[in-house]
């Protein structure tokens, strides 16, 4: 089966733990977290700009994190696993090429490339990805999220469907992470390019994916970062047309936890939840700062309610 067709179901983002008040990356906890996800059914792992905290790291740290997660996933010796790593948020095309080459050399299955420079013209974006594709023979995931507008009078920040259509024709481009979080726009993208690339939708988790699941193969994990088996179960139920089971997971697990996302933020809330379950510390690196004790306690109470409701044993 081609790599594109193997990108199905939940894609588990890798969250980076810190120690020493955020000064250092906790590599032991990082490896243990990947092991925890794998032991609970995760197969596709994705180190990325925001959840993995690349935006808080220097380039040397990103290289080291990428190497760490690649080595850990490959240590499973499981042909069903996929490891995707990324490049820095703000960098030149030449730097992205270096990260793509490093990812290939270390054994990654795919490189995720994000474009956070100002958008001036679509050709600039196309040339960026095409140049990297021509320089390094590694599968590419295009991380599509709203642009910073270089000519605001004539732009709305969205990637044009025509641009995504052109990118989907680059042979190395086999996946797109759709991060606009706009239902109609997401559907237009899925309709246009899902015949050529795997699309990983993100934002609002299972509820978002369910709107485009007929043509869209995968979604970025949400509550699965906390309870990987839950999202693996959801995908199994979906394939078996067990709609009642799918709705049970959404109502009893995803929606309750999304109170945390909607009120305390996804990034800080998931860290608090994982500390509550002794998966990793909730420590952050400034300017990110962990939730205060009152909010952290509330997150823990929500997690306990979810465990009881869905009979989750850890």
Per-residue pLDDT of the chain (314 residues; tens, 9 = 90+): 899 999 999 999 999 999 999 999 999 999 999 999 999 999 999 999 999 999 999 999 999 999 999 999 999 999 999 999 999 999 999 999 999 999 999 999 999 999 999 999 999 999 999 999 999 999 999 999 999 899 988 889 899 999 999 999 999 999 999 988 888 899 999 999 999 999 999 877 787 787 788 889 899 999 999 999 999 999 999 999 999 999 999 999 999 999 999 999 999 999 999 999 999 999 999 999 999 999 999 999 999 999 887 776 55
Asked whether the beta carbons of 219 and 206 are under 8 A apart, the reply is yes
Give me the pLDDT at residue 99, please: 99
- In angstroms, the Cα distances linking 277 to 105, 144, 280 are 35, 32, 8
H-helix or E-strand spanning residue 118? strand 118-119
Residue 301, Cα to own-chain centre: how many angstroms?
26
Number of Cα atoms under 13 Å in the Cβ half of residue 186: 24
Q: List the domains of the chain with CATH numbers.
A: 3-221 (3.20.20.70), 227-314 (no CATH)
What local confidence, expressed as pLDDT, does residue 82 receive? 99
Pairing state between β 173-178 and 148-149: unpaired
pTM summary value: 0.95
Beta-carbon contacts of 230 under 8 Å, excluding residues fewer than 6 positions away, are 223, 224, 249, 253, 310, 312
Q: Kindly give, in sequence order, each residue whose CB lies less than 8 Å from that of residue 47, ignoring residues fewer than 6 positions away.
A: 13, 14, 54, 65, 66, 69, 83, 84, 85, 86, 112
User: Contact 215/188 with Cβ under 8 angstroms?
Assistant: no
Pairing of strands 9-13, 140-144: unpaired
Contact 201, 208 (CB under 8 A): yes
């Amino acid at each position: 089966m081609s790599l594109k067709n193997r990108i199905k179901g939940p894609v588990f983002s890798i969250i980076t733990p810190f120690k020493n008040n955020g000064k250092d990356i906790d590599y032991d906890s990082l490896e243990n977290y990947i092991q925890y996800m794998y032991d609970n059914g995760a197969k596709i792992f994705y180190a990325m700009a925001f959840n993995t905290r690349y935006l808080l790291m220097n380039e040397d740290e990103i290289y080291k994190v990428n190497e760490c997660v690649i080595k850990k996933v490959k240590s499973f010796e499981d042909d069903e696993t996929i490891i995707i790593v990324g490049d820095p948020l703000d960098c030149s095309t030449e730097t992205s090429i270096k990260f793509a080459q490093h990812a290939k050399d270390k054994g990654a299955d795919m490189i995720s490339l994000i474009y956070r420079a100002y958008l001036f013209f679509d050709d600039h974006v196309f040339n960026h990805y095409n140049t990297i594709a021509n320089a390094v023979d590694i599968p590419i995931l295009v991380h599509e999220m709203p642009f910073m507008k270089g000519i605001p009078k004539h732009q709305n920040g969205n990637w044009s469907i025509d641009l995504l259509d052109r990118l989907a024709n680059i042979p190395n481009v086999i996946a797109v992470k759709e991060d606009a979080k706009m239902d109609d726009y997401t559907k237009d993208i899925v309709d246009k390019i899902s015949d050529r690339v795997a699309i990983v939708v993100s934002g609002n988790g299972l509820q978002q994916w369910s709107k485009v699941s007929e043509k869209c193969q995968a979604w970025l994990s949400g509550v699965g970062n906390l309870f990987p088996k839950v999202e693996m179960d959801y995908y199994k139920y979906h394939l078996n047309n067990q709609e009642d089971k799918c709705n049970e997971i959404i109502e009893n697990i995803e929606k309750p936890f999304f109170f945390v996302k909607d009120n305390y933020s996804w990034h800080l809330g998931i860290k608090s939840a994982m500390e509550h379950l002794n998966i990793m510390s909730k420590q952050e690196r400034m300017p990110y700062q962990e939730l205060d004790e009152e909010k952290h306690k509330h997150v823990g109470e929500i997690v306990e309610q979810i465990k009881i409701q869905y009979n989750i044993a850890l």
